[in-house]
């Protein structure tokens, strides 16, 4: 499902009795000082059922912060918030950041220690076999596995809050850039992305195949941009064929695993050791290998096989050669097809006239050029840019030349 229009930048989920008047209030203020729209429920929890307005506030937020504290799991209200937050993460790609405030992620994951004692009260109330309790347990485990921020008792809270706010700003800026990319003239992409996204729900490895200039990379990039924040690690490895010739396999593999492990740029991986591979086995990752032209590239980049990929991880491969995808054994092959007539005319017009449709006086000429491009996105962009702001006479001249000498820049991508 497509991302929603958001009213809030950040939603804060917290146990009021634990952190309302200290950590969470300071964090809330720091976020407001950065001119962010923040939803923090000021009411005291009352009753068992979470309000519909609170559920709506979660849905209308770009990012949810979960402040896990010692008594978080004693509140049915908090746990229902958590379940809904993770549902929004799956449905809309909402960013979710857990903060482990004076608690251990392990205790949350296993509902143990003092955190488990708080959860035990709900177990007694609802019974250990209830569906609701099972839902809460799964949500706690899933959230504890997300990349977040540890806040031990002996850590300076002002420094911690500063770091959290900085991280949130980076994530929101990245999300905004992604949104700009998705809305930047990607004609005909919405239905294609929706189709690919539905396939990725069912298959671990998806192949996108088509001739050069058909928009495989653009399609994969748009899909990656829409869903990457649902994963714990991600990497878009672009132009594998070209980069392989320049830098060789080990260099690309180092780049891939560095990004998946969230390594700092100055913390290079010399080789993938068993410890680092074990870490990746526990992370849900998204990998795009763009423009493969050899099965060996896939095998070297993924260290021989796909078996180490964590459940829920996804790999997207683009290539011009369908046989490569068959030899790799991808679970689904999707062909990158030409744009239909309306889409082609719109894409050409965006590049040729900076508008969705050509002027009436240029409509007939535009249709001639669009027919020549045969629905190929790259050809439409190149020809549109080439003819931008030129006279009708220059258009006619260009069209006549295309009949005899097809555009070299377009042909070079075929």
Classify residue 298: in a domain, yes or no: yes
Classify residue 2: in a domain, yes or no: no
Question: Could you tell me the strand order of the sheet in which 332-335 lies?
Answer: 233-237, 285-292, 314-319, 205-209, 332-335
Q: How many CA atoms lie within 13 A of 241 on its CB side?
A: 13
Residues 288, 140 share a domain: no
Residues 169, 261 share a domain: no
Classify residue 292: in a domain, yes or no: yes
The strand pairing partners of 235, in sequence order, are: 287
Residues 289, 347 share a domain: no
Residue 139 belongs to what domain range?
8-175
401 vs 371: CA distance, rounded Å: 15
Domain boundary pick from 282, 312, 335: 335
Residues 321, 232 share a domain: yes
290 vs 318: CA distance, rounded Å: 5
403 vs 91: CA distance, rounded Å: 48
- For residue 405, the model assigns a pLDDT of 63
- For residue 100, the model assigns a pLDDT of 94
Domain boundary pick from 335, 367, 390: 335
- For residue 64, the model assigns a pLDDT of 95
* Cα–Cα distance list, 191 to 44, 309, 314 (Å): 44, 28, 20
The strand pairing partners of 65, in sequence order, are: 12, 97
Residues 286, 149 share a domain: no
> What pTM was computed for the model?
0.59
CATH number for the domain spanning 242: value is 3.40.50.300
- For residue 236, the model assigns a pLDDT of 94
Residues 268, 190 share a domain: yes
Domain boundary pick from 302, 335, 368: 335
- For residue 270, the model assigns a pLDDT of 45
Residues 41, 115 share a domain: yes
Residues 351, 234 share a domain: no
Both tokens of 228, joined, read 């990457």
Residues 79, 161 share a domain: yes
Residues 354, 284 share a domain: no
Residues 223, 129 share a domain: no
Both tokens of 221, joined, read 């990039």
172 vs 319: CA distance, rounded Å: 32
Classify residue 59: in a domain, yes or no: yes
How many domains are there within the chain?
A: 3
232 vs 142: CA distance, rounded Å: 11
- For residue 322, the model assigns a pLDDT of 94
Per-residue pLDDT of the chain (414 residues; tens, 9 = 90+): 444 568 899 999 999 888 988 999 999 999 998 888 999 987 655 555 678 888 999 999 999 999 999 999 988 889 999 999 999 988 888 899 999 999 999 999 999 988 888 888 877 877 766 788 889 999 999 999 888 888 888 888 889 999 999 889 888 877 765 565 555 567 777 788 888 988 998 999 999 998 888 889 988 998 898 888 778 788 999 999 999 988 777 888 888 888 887 654 434 444 555 555 666 777 888 999 999 999 999 988 887 667 778 888 999 999 999 999 999 999 999 998 888 888 889 888 888 898 888 998 899 999 988 888 888 888 888 888 889 988 888 888 888 887 766 654 544 444
Q: Which residues are catalytic?
A: 81
Classify residue 180: in a domain, yes or no: no
Classify residue 368: in a domain, yes or no: yes
Neighbour-count burial for 34-62, b at 16+ CB within 10 Å, e otherwise: eebebbbbeeeeeeeebeeebbebbbbbb
Classify residue 181: in a domain, yes or no: no
Residues 389, 328 share a domain: no
Classify residue 47: in a domain, yes or no: yes
């Amino acid at each position: 499902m497509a991302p929603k229009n958001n009213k809030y930048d950040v939603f804060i989920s917290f146990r009021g009795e634990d952190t309302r008047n200290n950590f969470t209030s300071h964090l809330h203020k720091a976020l407001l000082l950065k001119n962010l729209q923040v939803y923090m429920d000021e009411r005291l929890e009352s009753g068992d059922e979470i309000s519909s307005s609170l559920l709506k506030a979660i849905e209308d937020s770009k990012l949810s912060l979960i402040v896990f504290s010692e008594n978080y799991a004693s509140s049915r209200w908090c746990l229902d918030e958590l379940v809904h937050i993770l549902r929004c993460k799956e449905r809309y790609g909402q960013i979710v950041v857990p903060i482990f405030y004076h608690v251990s992620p392990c205790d949350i994951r296993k509902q143990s220690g003092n955190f488990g004692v708080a959860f035990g009260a709900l177990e007694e109330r609802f019974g250990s076999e209830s569906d609701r309790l099972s839902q809460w347990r799964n949500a706690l485990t899933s959230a504890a596995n997300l990349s977040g921020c540890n806040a031990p008792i002996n850590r300076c809270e002002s420094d911690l809050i500063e770091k959290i706010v900085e991280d949130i700003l980076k994530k929101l800026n990245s999300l905004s850039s992604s949104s700009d990319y998705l809305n930047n003239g990607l004609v005909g992409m919405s239905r294609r992305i929706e189709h690919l996204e539905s396939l990725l729900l069912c298959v671990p490895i998806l192949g996108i195949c088509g001739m050069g200039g058909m928009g495989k990379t653009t399609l994969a990039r748009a899909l990656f941009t829409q869903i990457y924040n649902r994963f714990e690690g991600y990497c878009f490895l672009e132009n594998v064929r070209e980069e392989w010739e320049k830098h060789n396999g080990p260099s690309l593999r180092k780049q891939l695993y560095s990004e998946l492990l969230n390594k700092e740029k100055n913390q290079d991986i010399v080789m993938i050791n068993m410890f680092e591979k074990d870490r990746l086995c526990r992370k849900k990752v998204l990998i795009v290998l763009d423009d493969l032209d050899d099965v060996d590239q896939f095998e070297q980049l993924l260290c021989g096989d796909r078996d180490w990929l964590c459940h829920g991880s996804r790999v997207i491969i683009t290539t011009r050669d369908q046989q490569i995808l068959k030899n790799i054994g991808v679970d689904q092959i999707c062909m990158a097809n030409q744009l239909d007539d309306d889409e082609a005319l719109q894409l050409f017009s965006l590049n040729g006239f900076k508008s969705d449709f050509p002027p009436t006086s240029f409509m007939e000429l535009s249709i001639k050029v669009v027919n020549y491009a045969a629905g190929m996105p790259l050809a439409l962009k190149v020809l549109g840019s080439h003819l931008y702001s030129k006279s009708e006479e220059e258009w006619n001249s260009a069209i006549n030349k295309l009949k005899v000498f097809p555009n070299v820049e377009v042909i070079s991508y075929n």
